[in-house]
Copies of this chain bind each other. A is one copy, B any other.
Amino acid sequence: MEQFLSQFIGTTGFIAMTWGQLLMLVVSCVLLYLGIARGFEPLLLVPIAFGMLLANLPMSGITDPPKDNLVGGLIYYLYQGVKLGIYPPLIFLGIGAMTDFAPLIANPWSLLLGAAAQLGIFIPFIAAYYLGFDLKSCGSIGIIGGADGPTAIFVTSRLKPELLGPIAIAAYSYMALVPLIQPPIMKALTTKKERLVRMAQLREVSKAERIIFPIFVTLLIGLLLPAAVPLVGSLMLGNLFRETGVTERLSDTAQHALINTLTIFLGVSVGSTASAERFLNPQTLEIIALGLFAFSCGTAGGVIFGKIMYWVTGGKVNPLIGSAGVSAVPVAARVSQVVGSKEDPTNFLLMHAMGPNVAGVIGSAVAAGVLLSVLN
């Protein structure tokens, strides 16, 4: 009986657990807390944190690959959709079906703000290089600054899958923290006069323009930067479903059943890559720090370019909308609104900030294409 008891305890996970795994279980519980109680991007952070929790329960075999004639674990199979680059573009399909590009079509110049905010990708890329990361890791770290979950996961899964855990967690956490990260930078870089600028009302956008836009963007980006096609093409196909008026069925499924299912699968799989041995090393610390640096650079890039547009247009552009160029749709646009309304509660910047905001999604996808084509 004694022998049996010791044998029984041996089959439990308690004995096999390492300190690292215990620590990771604590981290995943904290992430769950932040996702649920504090509302940090819960749709992604809850599955990611739960995947992390499952992957760090010792001996469950839930992430094991198939071996001999034993089948693999559940998350091993779910993870294939990340590894093969299937989930992120299909999630982009749903995001496209949920995105309204009209503010961008109405004010094309806001694309420049979406471009400028991509400094949040390339400056940390350089920084990571001088901290000793190899180029592929640098690309994966830089893409955090794109402030776009699926893009970050897509690029990392192709360049440096080992880093998926920390990069996804950093990306989604900082997206949730955008209301904390951006305001001080925005205030530091702008004058009160600039923050008080009121912008002209946007023109109306016709249905035909909304339909042509995704086709045209796919053609343009597809020809300029072939490596961006999976992301941009999917985003635009989803948007086309949304705008045609005759494919509502497809748009509806893309933005509900399909994106929700894949979000669960993606979140759990990505979270599961954050096993103790992979996650708990000094690199992760650096990645988390660089991720925050990336968001700050992106914000600064957008705001500074916003100031340039302020000067060029003779004060018609409020530089606060520049920070929305980091994407993190729609949180970053709301931050522009909040910061602007602190100076003047009757100034509504939200719609003007949506232009750079969605431009940032396209900008990051283009930057992702550059990184993939150059580093792969």
Query: Beyond A50-B240, A268-B237, is A58–B260 a contact (Cβ under 8 Å)?
Result: no
**Is B11 touching A223 in the complex (CB atoms < 8 A)?**
no
CA distance A46 to B251 in the complex (A): 12
Write the chain B residue with the least CB distance to A244. B36
Q: Is the C-beta of A32 less than 8 angstroms from some C-beta in chain B?
A: yes
**How many copies, total?**
3
Nearest Cβ in chain B — how far from A175, in angstroms?
A: 15
A233 contacts which chain B residues (CB < 8 A)?
Answer: 50, 54, 57, 60, 62
A261 contacts which chain B residues (CB < 8 A)?
Answer: 253, 257-258
Pick from B13, B246, B249, B256: contact of A226, CB below 8 A. Answer: B13
Nearest Cβ in chain B — how far from A209, in angstroms?
A: 13
**Is A77 touching B71 in the complex (CB atoms < 8 A)?**
no
- The interface-forming segment of A84-92, A136-144, A295-303 is A84-92
Interface size class of A (residues with CB under 8 A): 35 or more
**Is B373 touching A11 in the complex (CB atoms < 8 A)?**
yes
18 A-B pairs within 8 Å (CB atoms) are namely A42-B246, A47-B237, A50-B218, A53-B215, A54-B233, A57-B229, A60-B229, A71-B83, A71-B85, A71-B158, A72-B84, A74-B86, A74-B90, A78-B86, A93-B264, A254-B260, A257-B257, A257-B258
Q: Please give the residue numbers on chain A whose beta carbons come within 8 Å of chain B beta carbons, in ascending order.
A: 11-14, 17, 25, 29, 32, 35-36, 39, 42-43, 46-47, 50, 53-54, 57-62, 70-74, 77-78, 83-86, 89-90, 93, 158, 211, 215, 218-219, 222-227, 229-230, 233-234, 237, 240-241, 244-247, 249-250, 252-254, 256-258, 260-261, 263-264, 268, 373, 376
